[in-house]
Copies of this chain bind each other. A is one copy, B any other.
Amino acid sequence: MPGKRDKADDDSRHATRRAVPSRFGMDEVLWAAWLYYEEGQKQDKIADQLGISRASVFNLLQKARDEGIVNISIDPSRIARADVALELCELSGLSECYVLPTPQDPATLANEISHLGARVLEARLHADDTIGVAWGRTVLSLSKHLTSMRHPNITVAQITGSAVATFDFSPVLCTTNIADRLSARCVNLHAPGVVSTAQVKDILLNEPEIRNHFTLLQQCTKTIFGVTQLDGETLLEQSGFMSDAALQVYRDLGAVGFAAGYFFDAEGQIVRSEFDERHITMALDDLLNVPERICIGGAPQKVGAIYGMLQARIANVLVTDETTAQSLIDHYKQRT
């Protein structure tokens, strides 16, 4: 019974405290983490050594994991190397492809893909990177799975104007979230995502501040974006980003998907319409010049869109799940 703790008890406690009086500055968290993860000691034993209860040791270890003092990570290169990924790379011309085991519960798929996306970004990230960030549920979700890390001189920049519509995965939010986790410089694009006429777009693009932003975007070493299919309900209209009518124009022109600011058809041809003239986003040529163009996304209904995107070369790195990857492989094989 815990209530029994009295002076006698306390004395006996002191006897076991010999090794590590807490006056030592050395972090108990660190201490426990070392003994547990490096030396493989049992929590009981560590509790003895530190003169605390096993439960406390558990708490210390928890803290160590939370604070990133211990890092448990899966070598991402192995995930890329997995057979399905490899086959898809060969068929599609992707330079890299990360494939997640498809979860049993489809509802968690999007979440888990963005989780893997976060790991992939972390693994590929290095000093002096400039990351162009798009917007969308997937990208926002990715930002939440990033563990705080610190590389010198990282820049995170918006590739699309800040949409004004009311939705919780705005370009600004995606960008700031990611920058925050990476302790990076955050460069927002202070312009609307869509304007009313081509003329307004021209005027804006000639504004010095916005011009500078697009110049910065040309320095991008990476971009991150999701991908949407156009059949059925999409968040493009739901979010108020564009009108149903504008979207229908693209559908009528044969577009099947949208990624990183551009529409494309089932064979990877970029589809343009009047809307492009009003959409403030990174120029296509600049986008295609970015060395690492990372697309995060997967779902059965997205397969057609992803295929088109891959053919359009919008992405050269893909993070997806196994079912989607397999469908894509099948898709490619059919065409041969």
Contacts and interface: CB of A to CB of B under 8 A. Distances in A.
Contact of A35 (B31, B33, B101): B101
Interface string A49-91: 1000000000000001000111111110011001110000000
Interface string A1-40: 0000000000000000001100011110011011101110
Contacts of A33: 74
A118 B225 CA distance: 40
A74 B38 contact: yes
A96 interface: no
Q: How large is the interface on A (under 10, 10 to 19, 20 to 34, 35 or more residues)?
A: 35 or more
A311 to B, nearest CB: 25
A99 interface: yes
A96 to B, nearest CB: 16
Nearest to A27: B82
Name A's interface SS. mixed
Contacts of A78: 27, 30, 69
Given A26-B322, A49-B104, A73 B75 contact: no
A119 interface: yes
A75 B34 CA distance: 10
Nearest to A48: B104
Interface of A: 19-20, 24-27, 30-31, 33-35, 37-39, 49, 64, 68-75, 78-79, 82-84, 99-104, 112, 115-116, 119, 322
